[in-house]
Amino acid sequence: AQTVTQSQPEMSVQEAETVTLSCTYDTSESDYYLFWYKQPPSRQMILVIRQEAYKQQNATENRFSVNFQKAAKSFSLKISDSQLGDAAMYFCAYSFHFGNEKLTFGTGTRLTIIP
């Protein structure tokens, strides 16, 4: 069975600084998909970024980028120029089937932004 591990229950960063959230996963599959979701206090999960395992290039979305290390099964999220609105729970997730996404989630990292 696939597992997703987030070893940092809480992180904090000064506003405008850069922070990296860690995620490792375990799978025997060679083709899969990885995601970072954000859950603000409104509780509605929002997709931040998505990475296809067959792509060597790391995904980026504005201030958000990932460091995908397939051999190490590592998938970290880097947030640049942190803003107060980035404060949230961040969940790393794995999916084998894209479309009909049965996601396996990590336990989450609570990110605090210090003004």
Complete DSSP assignment for 19-55: EEE--EEE-S-SS-EEEEEEE-TT---EEEEEEETT-
Give least dist CB 10 to another protein, A: 12
Q: Which of 53, 75, 108, 113 binds another protein (CB under 8 A)?
A: 108
Binding-site residue total for another protein (CB under 8 A)? 23
Does 45 interact with another protein (rule: CB under 8 A)? yes
Q: Three-state DSSP class for 92?
A: strand
Stretch that binds another protein, among 14-22, 39-47, 60-68, 70-78 (CB under 8 A): 39-47
* Structure-token match 């409104």, residue found: 42
